[in-house]
């Protein structure tokens, strides 16, 4: 019991249910596209009753090694969690296992549809593992040396070499601050090499907890970078729903970065409001923590979608909506739909790392 209490004392749990809206009925862009929650006729969402804290083995407890795990799961009609899948993580495999076990013990007051208990799909959560006395500072000498080496290579426009060096930092124990710092540097380097898929993965890591582990002066630049990368990867809804850009920024004194980002947002809004089909270029990136295969994640902004122009192997897709879940093999000869009554939807495609295709969304 003491071991469990000590473990829990070293951990901080952060949960965010991702029930953001993802559909617009017709152009121009519907305000509901960005609603945090959209009322579905007769549907009452599940609410949390208890959340078990994750428990790490004693040999994993280290105040200088932190991490986080992002998961998706279903809340069944009994209020229990099931179909728990790790979507992303930074940290040890033991953290992913502990997070899954913890979420499996969470209990909810079940959702209802027209007064009857119903399953609720597509929930997501972030579980953070924090050391008790670790703040936002670099505490590992090995990390600082490698990071400085990689950053200097980036300043010399040697981006491929910088990526090699910066990636090596993940071989060391890292704090959440160190993880965010190196992830932002990697996102920047990958963007310079026009590898927007990998860049997006890293900038999402950098902005865990809305950038709370980045230096305050860097966070606005990281958020703008994510905006541009989300749009570059076809997530126009993200740009439409982003908060306004700040009027000033010490990191961008001349405003060039903010001007470029504002143009990206403007173009994304035009595409969302257009009646023509949306065509999105997709690339599968490596799954977290060395899991075999690749994945591509995309929140839908329209109700119908189909695939085209595959290169490489895409084995399956999973469509997770608030009220329904679909799993199938992607095909260029079929079209799928997510009715408005299904609620917000996120599409995930699984296959080989580097596989590409086009996703076409229609009204």
Residues of the chain with CATH 3.30.2420.10: 2-129
pLDDT at 134: 62
pLDDT band, residue 36 (cuts 50/70/90): very low
Q: Which long-range contacts (CB under 8 A, 24 or more apart) does 140-146 make?
A: 140/64, 140/172, 140/173, 140/174, 140/175, 140/178, 142/169, 142/172, 143/169, 143/172, 143/174, 143/178, 143/182, 146/172
pTM above 0.75, yes or no: yes
Centroid of chain to Cα 43 = 26
pLDDT at 24: 29
**Closest by CA position to 80, among listed 110, 121, 101:** 110
Q: Are 205 and 222 in contact (CB under 8 A)?
A: no
pLDDT at 65: 76
- The architecture CATH gives domain 278-362: Sandwich (2.60)
Residues of the chain with CATH 1.25.40.10: 141-273
pLDDT averaged over every residue in the chain = 85
Decide if pLDDT at 331 tops 90: yes
Percent of the chain with pLDDT over 70: 85
- The architecture CATH gives domain 2-129: 2-Layer Sandwich (3.30)
Residues of the chain with CATH 2.60.120: 278-362
Q: How many CB atoms lie within 10 A of CB 9?
A: 11
pLDDT tens-digit profile of 199-209?
999 999 999 98
| Residue 225 token pair | 């970078």
Bond preceding residue 313 cis, omega within 30 of 0: no
Positive or negative CA dihedral for 52, 57, 61, 66?
negative
| Residue 83 token pair | 């179909």
What angle do helix axes 196-206 and 219-232 make, rounded to 10 degrees?
140
pLDDT at 132: 65
- Which run of H or E residues covers position 203? helix 196-206
Provide the β-strand partners of residue 90.
Answer: 68
C-alpha distances (whole Å) from 195 to each of 160, 170, 225, 255, 354 are 11, 20, 13, 24, 11
- For residues 295 and 315, what is the distance between their CA atoms, to the nearest angstrom? 10
Q: How many CB atoms lie within 10 A of CB 218?
A: 16
pLDDT at 210: 87
DSSP per residue over 59-111, as a string? GG--TT--EEEEEEEEE-TTSBEEEEEEEEEES-HHHHHHHHHHHHT-EEEPE
Residues 6+ apart with CB under 8 A from 19: 36, 37, 45, 122, 123, 322, 343, 344
Q: Answer whether CATH 3.30.365.10 is correct for domain 141-273.
A: no
pLDDT tens-digit profile of 246-255?
877 888 888 8
Provide the β-strand partners of residue 346.
Answer: 299, 320
pLDDT tens-digit profile of 136-171?
666 788 889 999 999 999 999 999 999 999 999 988
Q: Are 334 and 306 in contact (CB under 8 A)?
A: yes
pLDDT tens-digit profile of 204-223?
999 998 898 998 888 999 99
Decide if pLDDT at 17 tops 80: no
């Amino acid at each position: 019991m003491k071991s469990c209490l000590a473990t829990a004392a070293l951990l901080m749990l952060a949960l965010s249910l991702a029930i953001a809206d993802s559909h617009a009925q017709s152009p121009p862009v519907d305000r509901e596209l960005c609603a945090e929650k959209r009322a579905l006729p007769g549907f009452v969402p599940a609410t949390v009753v208890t959340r078990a804290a994750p428990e790490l083995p004693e040999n994993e407890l280290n105040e200088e090694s932190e991490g986080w795990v992002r998961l998706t799961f279903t809340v069944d009609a009994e209020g229990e969690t099931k179909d728990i899948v790790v979507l992303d993580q930074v940290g040890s495999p033991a953290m992913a296992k502990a997070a899954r076990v913890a979420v499996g013990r969470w209990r909810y007051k079940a959702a209802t549809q027209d007064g009857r208990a119903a399953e609720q799909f597509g929930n997501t959560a972030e579980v953070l593992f924090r050391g008790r006395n670790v703040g936002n500072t670099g505490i590992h000498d090995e990390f600082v040396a490698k990071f400085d080496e990689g950053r200097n290579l980036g300043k010399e426009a040697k981006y491929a070499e910088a990526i090699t060096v910066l990636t090596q930092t993940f071989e060391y124990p890292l704090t959440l601050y160190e993880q965010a710092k190196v992830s932002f540097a990697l996102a920047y380097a990958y963007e310079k090499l026009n590898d927007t898929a990998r860049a997006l993965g890293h900038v999402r890591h950098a902005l865990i907890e809305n950038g709370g582990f980045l230096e305050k002066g860097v966070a606005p630049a990281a958020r703008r970078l994510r905006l541009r990368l989300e749009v570059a990867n076809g997530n126009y809804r993200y740009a439409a729903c982003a908060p306004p850009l700040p009027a000033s920024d010490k990191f961008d004194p001349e405003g060039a970065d903010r001007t470029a980002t504002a143009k990206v947002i403007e173009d994304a809004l035009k595409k969302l409001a257009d009646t023509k089909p949306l065509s999105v270029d997709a690339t599968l990136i490596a799954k977290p923590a060395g899991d075999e295969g690749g994945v591509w994640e995309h929140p839908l902004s329209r109700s119908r979608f189909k695939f085209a122009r595959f290169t490489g192997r895409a084995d399956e897709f999973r469509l997770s909506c608030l009220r329904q879940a679909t799993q199938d093999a992607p095909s260029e000869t079929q079209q799928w739909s997510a009715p408005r009554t299904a609620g917000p939807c996120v599409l995930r495609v699984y296959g080989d790392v580097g596989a590409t295709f086009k996703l076409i969304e229609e009204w």
